[in-house]
Structure 1
């Protein structure tokens, strides 16, 4: 209406003063049209597959969903839990999900070797949580002390980290027995050691057997691969780098909040998805992650959670070549990118020493 008045005034040759008044009213009082209003952008839907059922070792991701961190980064994230019958990595490869939580760096090397276009964009665990548990009476104090013991090792362990133990420390498979993720054979055999994760199996053994097992963390003896990496496809990186950056950044914030803040929202979501999880085990796992620097240590102290370096990747690759797990001509640098990490995101959330 006001625009029409101004147009009629112009056509009628109205005085300049009147035209100025009408123009001022038009500019200051006219209601905004639909085109004037900023568009309401919807959050980007993102799916993230884990490699096991919900547990504290995935806590930062669940925290970022539960406390709204992903939402603040413009993301609507659905976490797809893994498990014994779920292959979420295949869902990533086939384009059914956007990101995947890879267990270790060997998986990333293997993708390159098999021309699978997956790339690690962040390493949440700076230390692989793989350990060996021992009986107190065996008086094991270092990795080499395991050699005369019966070793309960899984099929995956034999074809993975145990080959490194053979090449770096001279272990053999003569004393190895199958580990079926049941601690009872270990508990019943005093002169034995059992594989596990520092965040869970020691707790389970102490509950079941009534003794506190000795724990040897392989990362403390040179097994320096990253663990719990965020993987995505190369095409996602090329087409949606901003989305990848937001997912990585928000996940990092989620992990800081889970380790150092109020992690009850994340734990509540974990227990909802995995009713077998207990508050006691969740608290134990978080304490062991912090105590052993699983998530926040080394390069993360300066570069932030999720940090990766070329030096670490090169070192681990050389060890895996010596162990016969990777071919020397594998272009391992294609397995990861530093583009989205080492930006000191979230450092202010770490408690001051």
Structure 2
């Protein structure tokens, strides 16, 4: 009996030892898991992107990358700040209040002229959808035909300065553009600035037939919705920039196929825009994002020749005071290789 009792004690002792070992191992496993989670969280970097306008289809790739966790997979937690008429992405990024921004190429060049060193990383749109809109049937074939008409245009907008320098528009009556189209609709002879990706849709809703003349037909065709950072941030955070650009381009690649879903997300962020208008913009901007040079070289592609042309145009009209190396203003180093 004593032997049997001893065996039972031995079994109990063995079980106790094994239990303690399992508990210890379990504790180590839980600790390791918590440590791994902590390591993952610590590797997720917080950055901010400020948009050039309220959320629209021109930001579809951004919201695609957020919604599909593409930024997160690249170790980034991205806070998207909407733009607007009183928001300057250039100033916000220059002040360090956001790491990444979106602006048009001419805005980045003018900022450089003001001593703000910014670097373009990717061109969302390969050209400019900016245009002048006029009533259908009006005899407007070229920019000289704006003479003798009221032209609603934002004061100081760069392409208007270029056109006035390039063409004799001394007889055009320049009126301030405020985003409303009532006066344009009432005056059949008038012309207004517009984006071919949006205003024609609203005119169709008002049963006002219109035509457009693209600003790019004048030769002034800056990259639009350009992703940028400061030169200092780029030099100190190349890995973060590479991860952001990779996510950004992938987001735009995905948006081409998932726009219907992502547009619902954009509507939630900007309830002031109708889904039909958003879908119109998505359709009409397609060639600007995925066509032209992007069709051959990939989303975001930029060339020194295009930047050179734009820089020289701004020098010619006095919006740039000094020349500088074009290669300083942009880089394609972080764009994914075209497959």
TM-score interval (norm. to shorter): 0.7 to 0.9
Match of 1:278 among 271, 274, 281: 274
**Structure 1 stretch displaced more, 189-198 or 114-123:** 114-123
Deviation at 1:213, TM superposition (A): 0.8
**CA 162–84 in structure 1, closer or farther in 2 if over 3 Å, else same:** closer
Work out the CA distance in 2 between the residues paired with 1:206 and 1:236: 44
Is contact 1:308-1:341 (8 Å) kept?
Answer: no
Deviation at 1:305, TM superposition (A): 0.9
Work out the CA distance in 1 between the residues paired with 2:278 and 2:221: 25
Provide the TM-score with structure 2 as the length reference: 0.83
Deviation by residue 1:281-328 (Cα, 9 ceiling, x = unmatched): 0110011102xx221232212221111111111111112222222224
Q: Say yes or no: does 1:118 pair with 2:118.
A: yes
- Secondary structure of 2:52's counterpart equals coil
Is contact 1:270-1:277 (8 Å) kept?
Answer: no
**Residue number in structure 1 paired with 2:239:** 242
Is contact 2:51-2:82 (8 Å) kept?
Answer: yes
Judging by fraction of residues, say which structure has more helix.
2
Is contact 1:48-1:99 (8 Å) kept?
Answer: yes
**Residue number in structure 2 paired with 1:198:** 196
**Residue number in structure 2 paired with 1:61:** 62
Provide the TM-score with structure 1 as the length reference: 0.80
**Residue number in structure 2 paired with 1:299:** 293
Deviation at 1:71, TM superposition (A): 2.1
Work out the CA distance in 1 between the residues paired with 2:69 and 2:259: 12
Work out the CA distance in 1 between the residues paired with 2:217 and 2:337: 26
Work out the CA distance in 2 between the residues paired with 1:173 and 1:120: 37
> What pairs up with 1:122-271 in 2 under 5 angstroms?
122-157=122-157, 160-172=158-170, 174-208=172-206, 210-258=207-255, 260-271=256-267
**Residue number in structure 2 paired with 1:99:** 100
Deviation by residue 1:137-170 (Cα, 9 ceiling, x = unmatched): 313233343333221111132xx11121123233
- Secondary structure of 1:214's counterpart equals strand
**CA 322–267 in structure 1, closer or farther in 2 if over 3 Å, else same:** same
> What pairs up with 1:10-21 in 2 under 5 angstroms?
none
**CA 117–318 in structure 1, closer or farther in 2 if over 3 Å, else same:** closer
How large is the Cα RMSD of the aligned pairs? Answer: 2.3
Work out the CA distance in 1 between the residues paired with 2:209 and 2:240: 45
Is contact 2:152-2:177 (8 Å) kept?
Answer: yes
